[in-house]
Chain A
């Protein structure tokens, strides 16, 4: 791994260097996008065919009304139909081509205008290009946070028809109690007997680095086990591991365009740091049956857009699956987003619970880039919690290509019946495309400590 990934807590000089690098990179990529949009607008506005009325709109040669694809939402269908009977708006056509490309997962969508039935009319056809094979090398996520350092991933993806193979490596100091660095591969078959049935197999391998606060807390838990006679499982639960491997097959049923259900399994084995703590076993397993329900719905109006997302996931590890850990982890998240003109309001609620003794990577963490932003997760709970509830509300206003945002996070993480303190943080940021720069202030009593974060896709 590169030195960047090995550095859990970069020094101040490295931090400034990193921030400068990110800002330079962000400006470069944002500049590309901004220059492009200005040119696209200029090209659309100057197109001579805008003088003609649109007679009909078709997708791959089939009129919109007769085009059958469950992925095409009613609102997108309405927008396509709305082109008919009005002057040809090349800007709207270009936007719709981009929307179709994203919705139908196509390589490219091109618009073709042809003469209509009379000299003031034209027909619009969107041609679909889907390459049988494709390769992509991408950076899906990148994040710098002044408390926890870097998180980054690089993926290579090969697709052949409906099958794809993704291989990636990265270092993540954001999502879990520990920083984990390593590789992940994922095979996906998007057409298992039917378009509604998908199969995926993930294989991951990570090396884990523990924060000193977590190590101290584990020692404390171990001492408590000896003193007050807690169950032996409790000490096993907080045992540290130096690496872990996971094999996770899953089948997804797309019941409707908005609703999907996944069932699968996760076979996770850990190489323990101190086998003596876990009864002399050098490795332990956490094998679980997994399930997930996803719902997503968008309602588009002429000037406003609403989006609802809901997700429920469960992981149940049992002895029958050969697991050393026995637990059930459930998590639910709800998200609502409303956009009207240049204004945007969003609310995101997450809650979760673990019953039984789960390994540390399953425990809930607050105080990262997506929850209680600004708080130090190790100050809240260095081992995470078995119960968690969190809510984040944000308001954004678009200013040209940039969106300025303010947000308010509140959350609580606890253990068993003990719920911790309800914590709050506020912050502001600037978002352009997938890039985001934000500053957050955890609300302590009597003092203010600011945390800076810059990244993309978080």
Chain B
């Protein structure tokens, strides 16, 4: 008698897909913040450029949507981060790029995990933008923004159509600068608030 419901529950338990890139939401004050599993982006080619002394820009986007395909976002937060690497201290420095000086924030002397988490902490969505009466989904996208590609469009030979095609096809072509999307959901605001209260 007990075995029957247990057997029925087994397939549904296996149906829950394992997500290695999971977002964990939390409410701090009036804002929704996230932390992420396996969140590491100071790696590979961008890291090599940083160790050569160059600055590398990253664009992060956190999206809230009613639907799991994120076709119609309810709200989004976008931030640009300029990262550099102190070649004497072997530590990272991160600046959140903003139009106004008062919005600009910087952190220095950080190891890679701390610098990465600081970026995540600086990406937040106001609580009033979250759906109150229905479940929603969260997605975090991250990509390297390489400004050196853009001047190549306009150069000595006028407008380079070839470089333009390269820029727009880059996310597909260059796997080294691509990161996975971190997701969560369906979530309910009240559940997140309960989690915050403990």
Contact = CB atoms under 8 A, between A and B. Distances in A.
Contact of A141 (B84, B88, B158): B158
A139 B159 contact: yes
Contacts of A157: 157
A43 B52 contact: no
A124 B56 CA distance: 17
Interface string A134-160: 011111111000000000001101000
A47 interface: yes
Given A39-B147, A42-B97, A135-B162, A49 B53 contact: yes
B157 A111 contact: no
Interface string A107-119: 0101111110001
B53 A112 contact: yes
Interface stretch (B131-139, B148-156, B172-180, B184-192): B148-156
Nearest to B52: A112
Interface residues of A, number: 43
Contacts, number: 114
A140 B56 CA distance: 31
A29 interface: yes
Interface string A82-98: 00000000100000001
B161 A137 contact: yes
Contacts of A138: 157-162
B48 to A, nearest CB: 10
A40 B151 CA distance: 11
Given A36-B150, A136-B162, A48 B85 contact: yes
Nearest to B145: A39
Contacts of B108: 48
A40 B82 CA distance: 10
A2 interface: no
B50 to A, nearest CB: 10
Given A110-B52, A122-B53, A140-B157, A42 B87 contact: no
Contacts of A122: 53, 87-88
A42 B95 contact: yes
A33 interface: yes
Interface string B69-98: 000000000001010111110000101010
A43 B82 contact: yes
B57 interface: yes
B86 A49 contact: yes
B38 interface: no
B76 to A, nearest CB: 18
B54 interface: yes
Contacts of A47: 53-55, 82, 84, 93
A102 interface: yes
A29 B84 contact: no
A111 B162 contact: no
B43 interface: no
A46 interface: yes
A169 to B, nearest CB: 14
A34 to B, nearest CB: 10
Contact of B147 (A36, A102, A434): A36
Nearest to A88: B53
B147 A46 contact: no
Contacts of B181: none
Interface string A9-35: 000000000000000000001001101
A49 B52 CA distance: 11
A46 B84 contact: yes
Contacts of A111: 52-54
Contact of A43 (B57, B154, B156, B158): B57
B35 interface: no
Given A122-B53, A139-B161, A102 B156 contact: yes
Contact of B82 (A42, A102, A154): A42
Interface in B83-142: 84-88, 93, 95, 97, 106, 108
A141 B156 CA distance: 11
B147 A43 contact: yes
Contacts of A317: none
Interface of A: 29, 32-33, 35-36, 39-40, 42-44, 46-49, 52, 90, 98, 102, 108, 110-115, 119, 122, 124, 135-142, 154-155, 157, 433-434, 456-457
Given A47-B54, A48-B85, 7 more contacts: A36-B150, A42-B80, A90-B55, A122-B87, A140-B157, A155-B157, A456-B159
16 contacts: A42-B57, A42-B82, A43-B56, A43-B84, A43-B97, A43-B147, A46-B84, A46-B93, A46-B95, A48-B84, A52-B88, A115-B87, A136-B163, A138-B157, A138-B161, A456-B158
